[in-house]
Amino acid sequence: MAKIANRALPTLAIFFGVLGHFVSFYLHFFTVGFIVLTLLNFYLLRGQKTHALLHNFGILAQARYILESIGPEFRQYLYSSDTEERPFNRVERSDVYRKAKGIDSSAAFGSQREYDATEIKLRHSLFPVDHDQVEKFELRFGEERGIKNIHTITKPIMISAMSYGSLGSNAVRALARGAKKSEMTMNTGEGGYPKYHLMEECDLTFQLGTAKFGVRHENGDLDESKLESLCENPFIKMVEIKLSQGAKPGKGGLLPKEKITDEIAELRGVGKGYDVVSPAHHSECKDAASTVKFVRKIQEVTQLPVGIKLCYGQKEEVRALLSEMIKQNIFPDYVSIDGGEGGTGAAPKGFMDDVGVPLFAALPIMRKFINEFEIENKFKLICAGKLINPTKQFMAMSMGAHACYSARGFLLAIGCIQALQCNKNTCPAGITTHVPRLQDGLDIELKSDRVYNYVKALEKEHLDLLAAIGKRKYSDLSPGNLFMPTSLLEARS
Amino acid sequence: MRAVVLWILQILSAVLLMGPAWSKITSSSNSIELFQTLGMEPYGRFIIGIIECGAILCLLLPKMHSIGALMSVSIMIGALIAHTTHLGFGDNPMGIMMVVNLISSSLILYLRKDDLLNE
């Protein structure tokens, strides 16, 4: 095939050259086209060795690269089945879209999942509870320490950490406005001073990342006065110390100097003209003891509920951390377990794919430790990791979580099409991009309504599920509500 | 250094295209005469004039330089065919300008080859 193409190009150039001369000069448009292709083909075959395929087969091999580059779109729209894609398949995404648009999200005929006892399922009750007997959700952070600034949430779900930088300003504001309308708490992410989050006046959890963006001295050390002054803002309700993240546990980050605009430099509190490194861990947290001390320090500086976020990794380390909390009698106000399946704007593929324990394996172990150490009443347990639909959230809460975080669920709600371009500044939905033309398509008011609709639909389904399981309140949920496949039980033991 | 050389070549190619494009679009008598000889008057003249304007824009716009150079090379090959087979070169410096533009645009293409070829 390639041989034929390589010979056909000069032949066609000559053929149209003759026709152009004797029939019509217009035919020389083809002559020129084939001459250019012939010259290009000659260069590929004889003039370069960077691409072996192009060197061996010529211009026809270029089709392979073109097809490969458009493959994701073809697979997403034409060839992949409704239950095939990752991280979220079309069925899962459509469910969020319908909820966000406030349209009927019922399905017909039967489940598209493999109903073969390899998945976790919820066990219903023979005697469901009436809806009016179900207690409304409420969770109070900081009550264990008896602090003045207790933060109460009334939704079992919160918007997980997404900072300005990874998201564009319109997306941040749409989510924050949606959070405000839904009376829900949103996490700012570690991207520094939350200028755009604060514009919408919703309840916020300020995330303190390893680089201390927004509350740092220029050398990267924590600037306590900046943190204290930020936490005096009435909309900052909690602080979360990020120890590790599900998508890239144990890995820091790099903010290249090219991406540091005047605004980013100001919000993050960094200088311009050099790369800024986010360390893999907080400089204050070298072991369990120093980590616990750091938690206390942040609690004292901020006077707010302070949580820690971690991806479950090594069993002994987590045990040691909990033991140290007991030893020092210092506890965070919540612990957020981020499953290894968590998402991010950009991370090395190996870390995303293979580092960190998945949520539904980690959560029961964490709950087991908490029961073993008898520290159930010392802090709240939150979790995150692909929890975009109510049944998954319910499973997590049955495994011991008090509330859930979701980031990508809310991105889908505001129009994410899973184009997988979050790290390229080319997001076609205008979410993870700073290109004004792309952001223009994201209407803040309209998308904030989508967030509100999504939360409302989640709440309704939560209520239905709680009633169907036969419970009157969330605190009655337990692992007994779950059908656990044998493989997962074995992995946990 | 490479960027400076590329910008010099891009501006040179764009400038060399401006005169012919202007004369085609504004229907100068010389241009009409040439295209009558080729049997392409008036549509061919306008089509090629518009392509030349597109090439000038692409040569000067960010991320479009290699496309502009490819268009410029194609136009010059077409012009060489026309002058070789029908029009002749006469006394005017058009022939030299065409060859200079062909070399300049080809150099841009060579230096920017990675922009055109998919990884």
Shortest alpha-carbon distance between residue A283 and chain B (Å)? 40
Tell me which residues of chain A, numbers 63 to 92, contact chain B at a CB-CB cutoff of 8 Å: 65-66, 68-69
CB-based contact A36 B118, cutoff 8 Å: no
* pLDDT at residue A254 tops 80: no
High-pLDDT (> 90) share of chain A, %: 70
- Give the pLDDT confidence score for residue A345 in this predicted structure: 79
Average pLDDT over chain A reads: 91
- Closest-CA residue of A relative to B37 is A25
- Closest-CA residue of A relative to B36 is A25
Mean pLDDT on A447-471: 96
High-pLDDT (> 90) share of chain B, %: 75
A54-58, A275-279, A287-291: the lowest-pLDDT one: A275-279
CB-based contact B78 A32, cutoff 8 Å: yes
Point out the residue among B74, B82, B86 whose CB comes nearest to the CB of A36: B74
Q: What is the ipTM of this complex?
A: 0.92
- Model confidence band, residue A491 (pLDDT cutoffs 50, 70, 90): low
- Give the pLDDT confidence score for residue A489 in this predicted structure: 63
Q: Among candidates B56, B71, B61, B57, which has minimal Cα distance to B109?
A: B71
Let me know how many helices (H) and strands (E) chain B has, helices first: 6, 0
- Give the pLDDT confidence score for residue A116 in this predicted structure: 75
- Closest-CA residue of B relative to A70 is B118
Task: Enumerate residues 6+ apart whose C-beta is below 8 A from B117.
Answer: A44, A51, A54, A62, A65
* pLDDT at residue A3 tops 90: no
The residue of B76, B112, B113, B116 whose CB has the most chain A CBs within 10 angstroms, and thus the best one to mutate to test that interface, is B113
Task: Enumerate residues 6+ apart whose C-beta is below 8 A from A169.
Answer: A196, A434, A439
- Between A54 and B77, whose confidence is greater? B77
- Give the pLDDT confidence score for residue A247 in this predicted structure: 86
Task: Flag whether residue A62 sits within 8 Å of chain B, measured between CB atoms.
Answer: yes
CB-based contact B77 A32, cutoff 8 Å: yes
* pLDDT at residue B118 tops 60: no
- Model confidence band, residue A271 (pLDDT cutoffs 50, 70, 90): confident
pLDDT in tens, A38-64: 999 999 898 888 888 888 998 888 888
Contact, A358 vs A385, CB < 8 A? yes
Mean pLDDT on A402-407: 97
- Closest-CA residue of B relative to A17 is B81
Q: Rounded to whole angstroms, what are the CA distances from A219 to A164, A266, A286, A306, A466?
A: 22, 15, 18, 24, 50
- Closest-CA residue of B relative to A69 is B118
- Give the pLDDT confidence score for residue A346 in this predicted structure: 79
Task: Enumerate residues 6+ apart whose C-beta is below 8 A from B43.
Answer: none
* pLDDT at residue A296 tops 60: yes
**Chain A contacts of B44, Cβ < 8 Å?**
25-26
CB-based contact B119 A20, cutoff 8 Å: no
**Chain B contacts of A29, Cβ < 8 Å?**
78
- Between A156 and A489, whose confidence is greater? A156
Q: Is the peptide bond before A87 cis (omega within 30 degrees of 0)?
A: yes
Mean pLDDT on A71-97: 86
* pLDDT at residue B119 tops 50: no
Shortest alpha-carbon distance between residue A64 and chain B (Å)? 9
* pLDDT at residue A83 tops 50: yes
Mean pLDDT on A276-294: 93
pLDDT in tens, A330-383: 999 999 999 988 888 778 889 888 999 999 999 999 999 999 999 999 999 999
What three-state secondary structure class fits A436?
Answer: helix
- Give the pLDDT confidence score for residue A251 in this predicted structure: 87
- Give the pLDDT confidence score for residue A225 in this predicted structure: 96
The CA-CA-CA angle for residues A81, A87, A89, to 5°, reads 30
Task: Enumerate residues 6+ apart whose C-beta is below 8 A from A462.
Answer: A137, A156, A390, A393, A394
* pLDDT at residue A488 tops 70: no
Point out the residue among B44, B117, B118 whose CB comes nearest to the CB of A25: B44
* pLDDT at residue A256 tops 80: no
Q: Among candidates A196, A377, A200, A230, which has minimal Cα distance to A304?
A: A230
Domain count across chain B: 1
Contact, A158 vs A183, CB < 8 A? no
Structural domain span for residue B46? 2-118
**Chain B contacts of A44, Cβ < 8 Å?**
117
CA A177 to chain centre: 19
Interatomic CA distance for residues A105 and A99, integer angstroms: 6
- Between B101 and A112, whose confidence is greater? B101
- Give the pLDDT confidence score for residue A99 in this predicted structure: 95
